[in-house]
């Protein structure tokens, strides 16, 4: 029987499919078994796998912790090393090393930022505190360097701080300049503050501060910073100027030097500020407000001072019994020394006034008694120092002439007023000799010494007035008779002359020896003034001592020439 090929193929295919199905079912059964076994294995492995993951996490955490500990160790080592630098108090650590420490700590602070992320702020805070402390130390170094004008260190410190560090610099320089002005103002070596010296110092500082700032080559305005630096010092000086003017207003006759100082300082500042500092308008504006008042009082001060002593001596009644130094003399010497202590300011004002305006107008009454100002007639006094010297001599002359005039009224014996003048002139000279500036100032006008000598002669003339009268008594006021022998009238005149001379000489010698003249130079000067009596007596003695006027000449001729010499030498 024949088989259809297609049918046979289908049948064969069917058999193969059945066989394949059977194999698949068998495979499926095996796969299920494998799956079950795999599930069983996974169930068994899960605990082990979980444990391994935990260990891996722990290891990772441990490694991270070790890294942090290592980083903390490195940071701690840096902090420990740099803390020694920052905390050093020996002063031996250069500022550059301190700045290096701060730079290292700043880098360490960045590394320590990780600690903040995990809630640990102790480490960063400690580093920040150390950096702040180091910065303050650099600031202190900057201030000291600024105070000592050490541009190299200042530049180094400012390069560390940048513009923010300029406040340290300003603070230091402000204290330095202010202290310098305060030292002059608070000086106890003189009664009147040398405001002109303060003004000159302030102007020098203004210019030098500007130049120092320029040399630093910072991105700042040197004039603006310099103005900020000197402003407190200017305020201190301006306060002192105002105080001086207030004192002068209370009594220009006794406090005139305060106005002289204020005027000189104001004039100097207003003339010099702009060249020293561009930003000076605010300063000069304050000065201009008081400039006119200061000038008027300063110009009044010199004549007012003379009027003060003129009135003081005219009213003086407390005279020492020995014609010694009076209390107003000490006040005069103090005034003269005060003027010389601020002579630069006084010279400025004296020159502005001129020699004719430093004396009161109208002239004081004492000048009608005696004055040496005639020596200045037709003399051109050009310098301020010479004008001031003239004022000092005017003061001395006012004092001496008024003192002698008042003494002539007080003392019964005229020589006491003269001695009073000589004693006080000697005291003034001693004071001047012990004060070189005053002595130099008095001598600045070439007639001053001559004026002083004339004052001495005026005083000495008062002292030797009775000695002059004694000498005059020996002078022959009329010619004797022309015959070879004296007339009886002539003889009586000669007898009376010898008698008067003897008695008066004894009286004057006794009075002179009773004087307490402790100044050896003054005693010698006075004795020299008296010495003129000897040659007058010698001439009279030589002419009549042999007895031509009397048979008993020894009764009238008490002293020979040798005895007169001995008497005068013993005074």
Assess whether 339 and 275 both reside in one domain.
no
Assess whether 351 and 253 both reside in one domain.
no
308 within a domain of the structure (yes/no): no
> Is it the case that residue 193 has pLDDT exceeding 70?
yes
- Distance (Å, rounded) from C-alpha 518 to C-alpha 8? 177
Assess whether 188 and 295 both reside in one domain.
yes
Q: Classify residue 217 by its DSSP letter.
A: T
Q: What percent of the chain has pLDDT over 70?
A: 84
- Distance (Å, rounded) from C-alpha 324 to C-alpha 515? 10
Q: What is the pLDDT of residue 148?
A: 77
Q: Classify residue 118 by its DSSP letter.
A: T
Q: Which is nearest to 198 in space by CA: 139, 264, 147, 255?
A: 264
Q: Which is nearest to 258 in space by CA: 228, 227, 281, 290?
A: 290
Assess whether 321 and 442 both reside in one domain.
yes
Assess whether 402 and 522 both reside in one domain.
no
How many structural domains compose the chain?
4
Q: What is the pLDDT of residue 247?
A: 95
Q: What is the pLDDT of residue 1?
A: 43
307 within a domain of the structure (yes/no): no
- Distance (Å, rounded) from C-alpha 351 to C-alpha 497? 57
Q: What is the pLDDT of residue 335?
A: 94
408 within a domain of the structure (yes/no): yes
12's tokens: 């064969």
> Is it the case that residue 93 has pLDDT exceeding 70?
yes
**Would you say 104 and 130 are in contact if contact means Cβ atoms under 8 Å apart?**
no
**Would you say 108 and 130 are in contact if contact means Cβ atoms under 8 Å apart?**
no
Q: Classify residue 364 by its DSSP letter.
A: P
Burial 144-168 (b: 16+ CB within 10 A, else e): bbbbeeeeebbbbbbebbeeebbeb
Peptide bond into 362 cis (omega under 30): yes
Residues contacting residue 559 through CB under 8 Å, at least 6 positions apart: 502, 505, 537, 567
- Distance (Å, rounded) from C-alpha 349 to C-alpha 266? 12
421-471 pLDDT, tens digit per residue, is 999 999 999 999 999 999 999 999 989 999 999 999 999 999 999 999 999
> Is it the case that residue 155 has pLDDT exceeding 70?
yes
396-435 pLDDT, tens digit per residue, is 999 999 999 999 999 988 889 999 999 999 999 999 999 9
Q: Which is nearest to 248 in space by CA: 265, 227, 273?
A: 265
Residue 519 — φ and ψ, nearest 5°? -80, 110
Residues contacting residue 498 through CB under 8 Å, at least 6 positions apart: 544, 556, 557, 558
Confidence bin at 482 (pLDDT 50/70/90)? very low
- The Cα-based distances of 284 to 245, 328, 392 in angstroms read 17, 40, 33
Assess whether 93 and 12 both reside in one domain.
yes
Q: What is the pLDDT of residue 312?
A: 93
Q: How many CB atoms lie within 10 A of CB 420?
A: 29
Assess whether 367 and 332 both reside in one domain.
yes
> Is it the case that residue 101 has pLDDT exceeding 80?
yes
Please say which residue of 128, 147, 166 terminates a domain: 147
- For residue 521, give the CATH number of its domain: 1.20.1280.170
Q: What is the pLDDT of residue 127?
A: 86
Please say which residue of 463, 486, 520 terminates a domain: 463
Q: What is the pLDDT of residue 74?
A: 80
For every residue of 177-190, DSSP letters joined together read HHHHHHHHHT-SS-
Q: Which class for 194: exposed (0-12), middle (13-18), buried (19 or more C-beta within 10 A)?
A: buried
- For residue 331, give the CATH number of its domain: 1.10.357.60
Give mean pLDDT, residues 247-268: 95
Assess whether 280 and 197 both reside in one domain.
yes
- Distance (Å, rounded) from C-alpha 186 to C-alpha 400? 34
Helices (H) and strands (E) in the chain, counts: 21, 0
Q: What is the pLDDT of residue 3?
A: 44
Q: What is the pLDDT of residue 249?
A: 95
Assess whether 190 and 281 both reside in one domain.
yes
Q: What is the pLDDT of residue 483?
A: 47
User: What angle, rounded to 10 degrees, do the helices at 166-185 and 195-216 form?
Assistant: 160
415 within a domain of the structure (yes/no): yes
Q: What is the pLDDT of residue 18?
A: 65
Assess whether 369 and 510 both reside in one domain.
no
Residue 531 — φ and ψ, nearest 5°? -55, -20
Assess whether 159 and 298 both reside in one domain.
yes
Q: What is the pLDDT of residue 80?
A: 83
For every residue of 133-149, DSSP letters joined together read HHHHHHHHHHHHHHHTT
Q: Could you list the residue range(s) of the whole structural domain that residue 474 is in?
A: 470-569
Q: What is the pLDDT of residue 61?
A: 58
Please say which residue of 122, 147, 172 terminates a domain: 147
SS (H, E, C) 534-548: HHHHHHHHHHHCCCC
Rg, Å, the chain Cα set:
54
Taking the C-alpha atoms of 518, 524, 525 and 531 in order, what is their torsion angle to the nearest 10 degrees? 130
* Vertex 498 angle, CA 497 and 499, to 5°: 90
Residues contacting residue 474 through CB under 8 Å, at least 6 positions apart: 497, 501, 536, 537, 539, 540
Q: What is the pLDDT of residue 267?
A: 93
538 within a domain of the structure (yes/no): yes
- The Cα-based distances of 221 to 69, 134, 506 in angstroms read 50, 28, 87
Average pLDDT, whole number, for the chain? 84
514 within a domain of the structure (yes/no): yes
> Is it the case that residue 477 has pLDDT exceeding 80?
no
Q: Is 481 helix (H, G, I), strand (E, B) or coil?
A: coil
310 within a domain of the structure (yes/no): no
Assess whether 356 and 284 both reside in one domain.
no
321 within a domain of the structure (yes/no): yes
364-377 pLDDT, tens digit per residue, is 989 998 999 988 88
Burial 52-87 (b: 16+ CB within 10 A, else e): eeeeeeeeeeeeeeeeeeebbeebeebbeebbebbe
Top pLDDT among 497 and 189 is at: 497
> Is it the case that residue 77 has pLDDT exceeding 90?
no
């Amino acid at each position: 029987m024949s088989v259809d090929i297609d049918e046979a193929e289908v049948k064969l295919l069917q058999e193969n499919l059945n066989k394949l199905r059977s194999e698949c079912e068998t495979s499926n059964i095996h796969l299920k078994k494998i799956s079950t076994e795999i599930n069983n294995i996974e169930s068994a492995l899960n605990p082990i796998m979980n444990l391994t993951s935990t260990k891996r996490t722990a290891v990772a955490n441990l490694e991270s912790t070790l890294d942090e500990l290592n980083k903390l160790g490195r940071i701690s080592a840096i902090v420990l090393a740099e803390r020694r630098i920052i905390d050093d108090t020996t002063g031996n650590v250069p500022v550059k090393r301190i700045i290096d420490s701060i730079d290292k700590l700043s880098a360490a602070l960045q590394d320590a930022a990780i600690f903040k992320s995990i809630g640990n702020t102790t480490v960063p805070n400690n580093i920040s505190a150390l950096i702040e402390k180091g910065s303050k130390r650099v600031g202190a170094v900057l201030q000291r360097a600024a105070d000592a004008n050490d541009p190299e260190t200042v530049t180094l410190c400012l390069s560390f701080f940048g513009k923010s560090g300029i406040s340290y610099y300003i603070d230091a320089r402000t204290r330095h300049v202010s202290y310098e002005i305060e030292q002059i103002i608070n000086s106890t070596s003189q009664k009147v503050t040398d405001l002109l010296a303060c003004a000159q110092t302030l102007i020098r500082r203004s210019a030098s501060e500007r130049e120092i700032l320029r040399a630093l080559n910072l991105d700042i305005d040197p004039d603006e910073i310099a103005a900020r630096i000197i402003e407190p010092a200017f305020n201190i000086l301006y306060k002192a100027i105002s105080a001086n003017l207030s004192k002068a207003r209370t009594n220009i006759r006794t406090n005139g030097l305060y106005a002289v100082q204020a005027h000189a300082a104001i004039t100097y500042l207003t003339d010099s500020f702009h060249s020293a500092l561009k930003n000076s308008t605010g300063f000069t504006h304050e000065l201009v407000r008081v400039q006119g008042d200061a000038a008027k009082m300063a110009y009044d001060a010199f004549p007012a001072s003379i009027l003060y002593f003129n009135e003081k001596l005219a009213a003086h009644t407390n005279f020492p019994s020995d014609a010694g130094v009076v209390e107003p003399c000490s006040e005069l010497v103090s005034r003269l020394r005060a003027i010389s202590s601020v002579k630069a300011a006084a010279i400025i004002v004296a020159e502005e006034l001129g020699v004719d305006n430093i004396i009161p107008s109208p002239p004081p009454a004492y000048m009608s008694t005696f004055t040496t100002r005639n020596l200045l007639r037709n003399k051109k006094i050009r310098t301020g120092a010479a004008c001031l010297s003239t004022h000092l001599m005017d003061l001395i002359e006012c004092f001496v002439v008024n003192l002698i005039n008042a003494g002539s009224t007080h003392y019964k014996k005229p020589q006491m007023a003269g001695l009073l003048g000589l004693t006080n002139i000697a005291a003034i000279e001693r004071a001047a000799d012990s004060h070189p500036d005053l002595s130099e100032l008095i001598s600045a006008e070439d007639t001053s010494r001559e004026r002083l000598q004339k004052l001495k002669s005026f005083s000495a003339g008062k002292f030797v007035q009775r000695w002059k009268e004694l000498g005059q008594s020996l002078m022959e006021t009329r010619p004797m008779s022309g015959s070879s022998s004296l007339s009886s009238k002539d003889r009586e005149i000669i007898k009376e002359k010898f008698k008067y001379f003897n008695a008066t000489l004894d009286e004057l010698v006794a009075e002179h020896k009773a004087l307490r003249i402790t100044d050896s130079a003054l005693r010698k000067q006075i004795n020299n003034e008296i010495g003129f009596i000897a040659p007058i007596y010698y001439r009279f003695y030589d002419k009549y001592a042999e007895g031509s006027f009397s048979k008993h000449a020894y009764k009238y001729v008490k002293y020979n020439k040798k005895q007169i010499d001995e008497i005068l030498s013993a005074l």
